[in-house]
C-alpha cells in the first residue's frame, strides 16, 4: 500500500475534510481539531505520502528554485561557473538545482521537462547545444553558447564572452613569438563559441600576412584532458610540424602538455602553447599555462542577477558580451 501514490485530494476524500484542511495539517498552520489532525496524519502515514516541497514552496512564495543546466560538470570551467551561480543565488534567497547533461541533447530535453514540472522559477542554461530551441514559458538565461532565434524570445537573456577577440589575441600572441605553423584545436561540435574563436584565429593569420592552412585546424570529439592528450599525440605523429598550438579550452591544453612532457618536447622552446578559459589548474601546473581568461565569477554573478530580475517580471531580451584578456605565463 505504501507504494501506491496518492494526492492531497485523495487524502481529503478519505479523511472527510477539505483539501485546504489537509494543507493546514501538513503545514501545521491555521485551525483544525486534534481529531482531524489524527485522521489526516494516519492516512498520510499509511500511504507514506510525501508532499512536493519544492512545488508547494514555490506556489506559496516561501521558497524559490532555479534550474541550472550544465553540459559537463567535470569540466573545471563549467564547474567554476556553476559554483559562482550557486553562491550568488543563495545570497538572493534562491536554491540551484544542477542538471549535468553530459553534452547529450536527449538529456537536455528531459531535464528541461523535469524542471518545468517542478515549477522552478527560471532556468540558467550553460553552454547548451547551439541548435536547441529556446525554452518557452519560463524565464531563461543562456550562458556561453547562444541558441538560435533567441532574439525572438522575450523572457530570455544571453551572456557570452568575446570569443572572436579571444581567438584573435591568442593567435596574435603566438605569431608575435615568431611561430609560423600554428595549430588550432577545436571542439568537433558546430558551436558559436568555436566558430568565433576560429574566425579570430583566421583574422590574426591574415593580418600577419600568413596563409591560412585548413590542415592546421584539428577537431576533438570531447573537451577533456584525455582528448587533449590524444589529439596532441595525433598531431605530432602526423606530417604536421607545429611550433605553436592554440587549444580552445585549458583542459585540452593541459592534456596536450602531458603528452609533450612525456615525449620530452620542450615547452615553450620547441612548441608554444596557449589555452582558453583560465581555469584554476592552469596556474598550478608546470610550466604554468598562458591562456585567454574568461571570468567565471562575472558569468555567475550576471547570470544569477539576470534570472532573478526576469523571475520578478523583467521580460526584456538582453545580450551581454564579456571581454576577455590574455594571461601571460610560461608556455609562450
Q: What is the pLDDT of residue 51?
A: 61
Tell me: do 144 and 198 sit in the same domain.
Answer: no
Q: What is the pLDDT of residue 4?
A: 59
| CB environment 231-260: b (16+ within 10 A), e (fewer) | bbbebbeeeeebbbbbbbbbbbbbbbbbbb
Tell me: do 228 and 279 sit in the same domain.
Answer: yes
Per-residue pLDDT tens for 174-224? 999 999 999 999 998 867 889 999 999 999 999 999 999 999 999 999 999
- Return the top range by mean pLDDT from 26-40, 62-76, 88-102, 164-178: 164-178
Domain holding 30: CATH number? 1.10.260.40
Tell me: do 170 and 279 sit in the same domain.
Answer: yes
Partners of residue 67 on adjacent β-strands: 97, 123
Residue carrying C-alpha cell 543565488: 89
Domain-located, residue 331:
no
Domain-located, residue 101:
yes
Tell me: do 167 and 137 sit in the same domain.
Answer: no
Q: In the numeric block, which cell numbers belong to residue 101?
A: 547533461
Residue 328 has pLDDT above 90, yes or no: yes
Q: What mean pLDDT comes out for the span 279-285?
A: 95
Domain-located, residue 327:
no
Q: What is the pLDDT of residue 121?
A: 86
Task: State whether the Cα torsion 154-159-165-168 is positive or negative.
Answer: negative
Q: What mean pLDDT comes out for the span 148-164?
A: 75
How many whole angstroms from its chain centre is CA 194? 15
Tell me: do 153 and 230 sit in the same domain.
Answer: no
Tell me: do 192 and 269 sit in the same domain.
Answer: yes
Q: What mean pLDDT comes out for the span 318-325?
A: 94
Tell me: do 239 and 308 sit in the same domain.
Answer: no
- Return the top range by mean pLDDT from 98-112, 269-283, 302-316: 269-283
Domain-located, residue 330:
no
Domain holding 100: CATH number? 3.40.50.2300
Tell me: do 284 and 169 sit in the same domain.
Answer: yes
Domain-located, residue 285:
yes
Q: What is the pLDDT of residue 239?
A: 93
Domain-located, residue 245:
yes
Tell me: do 156 and 301 sit in the same domain.
Answer: yes
pLDDT band at residue 34 using 50, 70 and 90 as cut-offs: confident
Tell me: do 144 and 223 sit in the same domain.
Answer: no
Per-residue HEC secondary structure of 123-189 comes to EEEECCCCCCCCCCCCCEEEECCCCCCHHHCCCEEEEEECHHHHHHHHHHHHHHCCCCCEEEEEECC
Strands 325-327 and 290-293: antiparallel
Domain-located, residue 3:
no
> What gap in Å lies between CA 229 and CA 206, rounded to an integer?
29
Domain-located, residue 332:
no
Which residues, 6 or more positions from 297, have their beta carbon under 8 angstroms from its beta carbon?
Answer: 84
Tell me: do 289 and 315 sit in the same domain.
Answer: no
Tell me: do 144 and 91 sit in the same domain.
Answer: yes
Task: Work out how many domains the chain is built from and give that number.
Answer: 3
Residue carrying C-alpha cell 589575441: 169
Compute how many other C-beta atoms are within 10 angstroms of the C-beta atom of residue 105: 12
Q: Residue 256's domain spans which residues?
A: 163-293
pLDDT band at residue 128 using 50, 70 and 90 as cut-offs: low
Amino acid at each position: 500500500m505504501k507504494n501506491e501514490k496518492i494526492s492531497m485530494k485523495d487524502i481529503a476524500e478519505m479523511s472527510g475534510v477539505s483539501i485546504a484542511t489537509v494543507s493546514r495539517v501538513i503545514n501545521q498552520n491555521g485551525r483544525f481539531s486534534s481529531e482531524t489532525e489524527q485522521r489526516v496524519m494516519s492516512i498520510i502515514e499509511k500511504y507514506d505520502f510525501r508532499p512536493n516541497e519544492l512545488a508547494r514552496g514555490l506556489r506559496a512564495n516561501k521558497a524559490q528554485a532555479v534550474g541550472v543546466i550544465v553540459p559537463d560538470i567535470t569540466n573545471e570551467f563549467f564547474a567554476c561557473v556553476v559554483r559562482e551561480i550557486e553562491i550568488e543565488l543563495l545570497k538572493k534567497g534562491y536554491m540551484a538545482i544542477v542538471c549535468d547533461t553530459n553534452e547529450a541533447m536527449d538529456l537536455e530535453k528531459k531535464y528541461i521537462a523535469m524542471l518545468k514540472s517542478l515549477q522552478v522559477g527560471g532556468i540558467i542554461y550553460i553552454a547548451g547545444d547551439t541548435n536547441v530551441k529556446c525554452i518557452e514559458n519560463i524565464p531563461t538565461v543562456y550562458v556561453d553558447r547562444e541558441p538560435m532565434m533567441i532574439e525572438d524570445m522575450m523572457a530570455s537573456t544571453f551572456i557570452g564572452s568575446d570569443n572572436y577577440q579571444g581567438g584573435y589575441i591568442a593567435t596574435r600572441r603566438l605569431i608575435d613569438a615568431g611561430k609560423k605553423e600554428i595549430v588550432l584545436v577545436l571542439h568537433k561540435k558546430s558551436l558559436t563559441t568555436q566558430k568565433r574563436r576560429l574566425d579570430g584565429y583566421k583574422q590574426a593569420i591574415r593580418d600577419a600576412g600568413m596563409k591560412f592552412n585548413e590542415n592546421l585546424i584539428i577537431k576533438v570529439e570531447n573537451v577533456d584532458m584525455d582528448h587533449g592528450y590524444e589529439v596532441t599525440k595525433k598531431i605530432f605523429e602526423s606530417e604536421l610540424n607545429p611550433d605553436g598550438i592554440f587549444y580552445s579550452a585549458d583542459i585540452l591544453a593541459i592534456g596536450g602538455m602531458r603528452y609533450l612532457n612525456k615525449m620530452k618536447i620542450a615547452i615553450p622552446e620547441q612548441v608554444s602553447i596557449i589555452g582558453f578559459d583560465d581555469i584554476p589548474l592552469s596556474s598550478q601546473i608546470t610550466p604554468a599555462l598562458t591562456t585567454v581568461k574568461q571570468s567565471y565569477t562575472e558569468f555567475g554573478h550576471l547570470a544569477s542577477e539576470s534570472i532573478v530580475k526576469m523571475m520578478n517580471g523583467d521580460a526584456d531580451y538582453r545580450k551581454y558580451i564579456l571581454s576577455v584578456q590574455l594571461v601571460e605565463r610560461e608556455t609562450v
